[in-house]
Each structure stands twice: as structure tokens, then as C-alpha cells.
């Protein structure tokens, strides 16, 4: 069975990086082996290098933004029809 790869809608992948290249690297490193992917991508020669933010100050701020989004996404709001306000 032939596999084809594409990037998900809205994916923020550097231009010029083909989905097949990313998939090949992830296959080589282990699809879910996060430490191996990051360690390999640290090398400027890695095809995945440009997919990561290497400035620690910028990366820390982006991570806190991610944490805030995760926090916001984890709060569920429900409404009881009996609590509807009328104008």
C-alpha cells in the first residue's frame, strides 16, 4: 500500500519543506519519540531544524502562550436553559 503525506490545514511548516521529508525523518526517529525528534532537530543540518524555535527566550514565551491556550481550552462552560436572561 502506497503512503502519501500532506500537512494538516493550518500547519505552520517552513516553506520548502515537503511533507514526505518530515514524515521520513519522523519515521527514522520514531513518530512519537519527542526527545529524539528534538535532539535530532537541534543540528542545523537536520531537515527539521527550521521547524523549531531555538531562541530560548522566544521559545519560553511561546510555551507560556501554549500553556495559557491549554488552560483556557480545559475550562468547559455550560448553560442551563432555565438560567437564560431575558431582555
C-alpha span between 62 and 55 (Å, rounded): 11
Question: How many CA atoms lie less than 13 Å away from 10 in the CB half-sphere?
Answer: 0
pLDDT at 83: 60
With respect to residue 14, please indicate whether it lies within any of the assigned structural domains: no
With respect to residue 37, please indicate whether it lies within any of the assigned structural domains: yes
pLDDT tens over the chain, length 87 residues: 889 999 999 999 999 999 999 999 999 999 999 999 999 999 999 999 999 999 999 999 999 999 999 999 999 999 888 766 666
What's this model's pTM, rounded to 2 decimal places?
0.74
Domain count, the chain: 1
With respect to residue 13, please indicate whether it lies within any of the assigned structural domains: no
With respect to residue 10, please indicate whether it lies within any of the assigned structural domains: no
With respect to residue 11, please indicate whether it lies within any of the assigned structural domains: no
Residue 22 near residue 13, CB atoms below 8 Å = yes
Residue 21 near residue 47, CB atoms below 8 Å = yes
pLDDT tens track for 40-65: 999 999 999 999 999 999 999 999 99
Amino acid at each position: 500500500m502506497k503512503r502519501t503525506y500532506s500537512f494538516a490545514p493550518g500547519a505552520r511548516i517552513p516553506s520548502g519543506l515537503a511533507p514526505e521529508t518530515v514524515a521520513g525523518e519522523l519515521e527514522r526517529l520514531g513518530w512519537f519519540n519527542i526527545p529524539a525528534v528534538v535532539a535530532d532537530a537541534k543540528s542545523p543540518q537536520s531537515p527539521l531544524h527550521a521547524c523549531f524555535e531555538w531562541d530560548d527566550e522566544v521559545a519560553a514565551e511561546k510555551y507560556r502562550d501554549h500553556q495559557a491556550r491549554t488552560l483556557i481550552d480545559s475550562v468547559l462552560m455550560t448553560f442551563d436553559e432555565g438560567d437564560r436572561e431575558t431582555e
